Structure 1
């Protein structure tokens, strides 16, 4: 017996799958849900827990419904490979926002075009992010997390206790890289 399967994904912890779920439930009675939360679409489909489980679960005759193509991923080749893997199992893939069945020739053509657009948008986002970082640096703005340690304290504690980088990191609850930076900075200020 064939099943209606839904896949929803959000990229960050402050996002919710509620809208995707509600939209899918308005149109379809879903038998099984697969979810990836706080999971970037840039991560390959097979490496995402929810989508990986979906790919293992589906059977011939099932229909997979997604809210939008970009929920499957942001990389054109990865999205196409995912849809091809589903089609090879004789599983239909429907995208509600775009409104087409990706298992038809027209659907495949639209999928290719829309996946390429999603990938372009991802690269545009990255480009805008890098431009913003560059601008912030030229304006002298501090980037990254606020520093929670005093370099000299870290270096002094490490020296006084003959501690390893790892032990120092654990003592101050910071990363080993932060310990190395702190020790270098403390040495440079002497």
Structure 2
């Protein structure tokens, strides 16, 4: 039988971990990783330590689902990763545990909802881009150099005394960007 390891998180310093500590202790957790960190932050060091400590046969226990995942897709990703490693998952408040068939079913419904949410977002994005294109707008970043600037740069680079680095600095772009617009220095000299 593996260990029951808890993870507790609050978002701000003025919040208290006592409720979560008590619930995780009652749930039989031998170790509890705790941190004060916004759930929106991808960098949660204690969660990283917790996940590294888990071994096949162990169970990760949280007080509530939102303590673990930043979003439904994030939560599904973490729990799926645990499942691949042979680690069970349990959420005390929602009474979800992946050791039983019913718990797995509930979690897979969550996974399906997360996939549905991703697909809806993708469809909305595509529809929005298509509508913008139909109105003559292009998506993406504004070009670093306009046609007039490209002509000027080509003219400048015909002079063998002028350095590519100086031209790039003058126009506020990198040498790579400059080459992307005007080609290699040899082809610019010919133009």
Query: Shorter-chain TM-score: which interval?
Result: 0.5 to 0.7
| Distance in 1 between residues matched to 2:175 and 2:49, nearest whole Å | 33
State the aligned residue count: 160
Conserved? CA contact 1:74–1:118, under 8 Å:
yes
Stretches of structure 1 that go unaligned for 5 or more consecutive residues are: 9-16, 40-47
**Please, what TM-score do these two structures have when normalized by structure 2?**
0.56
Is 1:172 the equivalent of 2:172?
A: yes
Q: Which residue of 2 aligns with 1:32?
A: 34
Structure 1 segments (4+ residues) deviating >6 Å: none
Conserved? CA contact 1:94–1:100, under 8 Å:
yes
| Distance in 1 between residues matched to 2:82 and 2:71, nearest whole Å | 9
**Please, what TM-score do these two structures have when normalized by structure 1?**
0.56
Q: Which residue of 1 aligns with 2:141?
A: 145
Local SS of the residue matching 1:93: strand
Q: Deviation at 1:81? A: 2.9
Q: Deviation at 1:110? A: 0.3
Is 1:118 the equivalent of 2:117?
A: no
CA displacement 1:100-126 (0-9 Å, x = unmatched)? 323342221100111111111101101
Superposed, 1:69-148 pairs within 5 Å as: 71=70, 74=73, 78=77, 81-85=80-84, 88-89=86-87, 92-94=89-91, 99-105=94-100, 106-148=102-144
- Larger Rg computed on CA atoms: 2
| Distance in 2 between residues matched to 1:148 and 1:132, nearest whole Å | 24
Conserved? CA contact 1:94–1:102, under 8 Å:
yes
Superposed, 1:54-73 pairs within 5 Å as: 54-58=50-54, 60=58, 62-65=60-63, 66-67=65-66, 71=70
RMSD of Structure 2 on Structure 1 (CA): 4.6
Stretches of structure 2 that go unaligned for 5 or more consecutive residues are: 22-31
